[in-house]
Amino acid sequence: MTKFRRIAGALLLLGSLSLFGTEVEVLHWWTSGGEAKAVSELKNELNANGYTWKDFAVAGGNGSNAMTALKSRVMAGNPPAAAQVKGPSIQQWAELGVLANLDDVAKANNWDKLLPKQFQKIFKYKGHYVAVPVNVHKINWMWVNPAVFRKAGAQIPTTWAEFKVAADKIKKAGFIPVAQGGQPWQEATIFESIVLGIGGPTFYQKAMVDLDAKALGSDTMKKSFDTLRMIKSYTDKNAPGRDWNLATAMVYKGKAAMQFMGDWAKGEFSVAGKHVGTDYLAVDVPQTSGSYLFNIDSFIMFKQKDADKTKGQKELAKLILKNKFQTIFNVLKGSVPVIQGVPRAPFDDIALRSMDEINAAAYTHSLLPSLAHQMAVTDAIRGAVFDVITKFWNSDESSSDATKALVNAVQNEK
């Protein structure tokens, strides 16, 4: 009976909130497991501050379904208050003149101080804030099953030469050296880490972010393709089409030794009841120590006709970059806070290392946007690069042909 009363009370409270608070409509595609839990935290925060979160969740298609919904709403002149949009797409939306200026919230809450410089420029259009970052994922992780390495008598590699030695031993011992999901974005995820490792941060910036034709067609790029080919020879034949989490499962089940994946893989290990340090390790992709490829989720805010809604929207922006939300959200999602100075206690070791690396890399210009995860270039160019990489991966094209194809593909889309 008391339980019933409590539920009834909660429902009443919810009802009254939605009666009195101004609605803030938020479009997102965080609909699964930990993500959904994490986003409901934001909802609670906003509701507790006197507004009403109106959920506009569109699942599926890695966000492309949500984008389709967003486009039709914007065209109809009725955009939501906020929408989950990241990377250079923010600039594309800003060019259309539909985004709200968040400079007053930013100033009042000191965003310029809180956010590393390399992050700031992504969320600013012509010097004004138009988007709010939520979290940071690190891409250049390598997930390792130490038991497989022990059984094969191999060392965990820190360079590609060591990688080859280790992978040969692992293969000989009857394991799959690299668990790979054969989907274009996963192939690109490996490739960008290789480019970063072989070319270094300056080269990565030039080739993958500035799309400099000389860098794209260079010998360094060719060598990166060679390395990608070498890694492919250590994957199993059944990789095509495999989802990334199934590849992670191959690692924790002891079938495979390594996987190259962003830090969301951590969630798969912990769901399977595995412990970091004993059951699995997270190390940097060979040759990328000290560099940090980031993937940041963010919300863009649309101009609203109703002044109350604008207020609600700014409240949302403010809450997102507060320590409280950054902590709760990122612990649930498995990412790390985008702002500096968040209390460290609630985070696990991998997250803490990631946070320290952001701090360190921010001062050495080795904090770089991920191309595979929509942070570096427009979706059209990203797609063209994906086509080149996946064609190379799934055929016996030579590295020099792939390098030429890459230069052409980027040139056509520019």
- What is the binding site for another protein (CB under 8 A)? 61-62, 64, 67-68, 71, 74-75, 89, 92-93, 96, 182-184, 236-241, 378-380, 382-383, 387, 390-391, 393-395, 412
Rounded Cα–Cα distance for residues 140 and 194 (Å): 9
Nearer to another protein, 359 or 412 (CB): 412
Nearer to another protein, 366 or 390 (CB): 390
DSSP code, position 61: G
Give least dist CB 125 to another protein, A.
Answer: 14
3-class secondary-structure state, position 182: strand
Whole-number minimum distance, CB 285 to another protein, in Å? 23
Tokens matching residue 309: 């809604």
Given the structure tokens 């409509």, which residue do they identify?
A: 25
Residue 212 or residue 379: which is nearer to another protein going by CB? 379
CB of 240 to another protein, least distance (A): 4
Residue 353 Cα distances to 335, 337, 344, angstroms: 12, 12, 11
Give the nearest distance from C-beta 303 to another protein in angstroms.
15
Which CB, 245 or 378, lies closer to another protein? 378
Q: Least CB distance from residue 33 to another protein, whole Å?
A: 21
* Minimum CB distance to another protein smaller for 109 or for 408: 408
DSSP 201: H
Least separation in angstroms between residue 231's CB and another protein is 16
Work out the number of other CB atoms within 10 angstroms of the CB of residue 261: 28
Place of tokens 């839990």: 37
Q: Which runs of E-coded beta strand occur in 18-96?
A: 22-28, 51-57, 82-84
The rounded distance, in Å, linking the Cα atoms of 112 and 121 is: 10
Nearer to another protein, 29 or 141 (CB): 29
Distance from CA of residue 275 to its chain's centroid? 23
